[in-house]
Amino acid sequence: MTEKEKCAAGLLYNANYDQELINERLACKDLCGQYNELKNSDEEKRNRLIRKIIGSTKENICIEPAFWCDYGYNIEVGEHFYSNHNLVILDCAKVKFGDHVFIGPNCSFYTAGHPLDPKQRNEGLEYAYPITVGDNVWIGGNVVVLPGVSIGNNSVIGAGSVVTKNIPDNVVAVGNPCKVVKIIE
């Protein structure tokens, strides 16, 4: 089994020393760098390049620079997706955003995690679990979403939150760790 196959299966895999994964990350980061250097007024080039980076997009999306991701092909973005500046997606596993998702500045989505055992970490091992964000979700600025988390439809994540566990539909959730504070009627 290759390291890429182990990653896709949710197993520990070696991301730091596997040349295939290193090459894929380097190619993606080169494209992200190009995207971030484009003029904001050059909408046609920005749209073309972001669709080259991201695995699957709908028609109407906007990702303000700077944008960084690891592979790109593991990201799926729905219709009317908007992200403010400084979005980071560590997409070692699938990251799926529904329709009408709005993301504030300086937000991060991390599918990658590392073993608690220092020997395994030092060997370059990590795991990756998917992240899913439903439809009609608003994520405030400076939010971090950790591996394996799902955020339900119509929910709001307050600024500065660290989302460590699944968030249900139709709620406002805030804090570190992020917790439900209100149900949206």
pLDDT at 177: 98
Q: Which amino acid is at 116?
A: L
For residues 143 and 109, the answer to whether their CB atoms sit within 8 Å is no
54 contacts 77 by C-beta, under 8 angstroms: yes
| Residue-level pLDDT at 108 | 98
Name the residue range of residue 128's domain: 3-183
**pLDDT of the residue at 158:** 98
Q: According to the model, what pLDDT value does residue 162 have?
A: 98
Average pLDDT over residues 64-93: 98
Tally the domains of the chain. 1
CATH (domain of 145): 2.160.10.10
* pTM (2 d.p.): 0.96
Tell me the two tokens of residue 91.
Answer: 């997409």
The catalytic site residues sit at 114
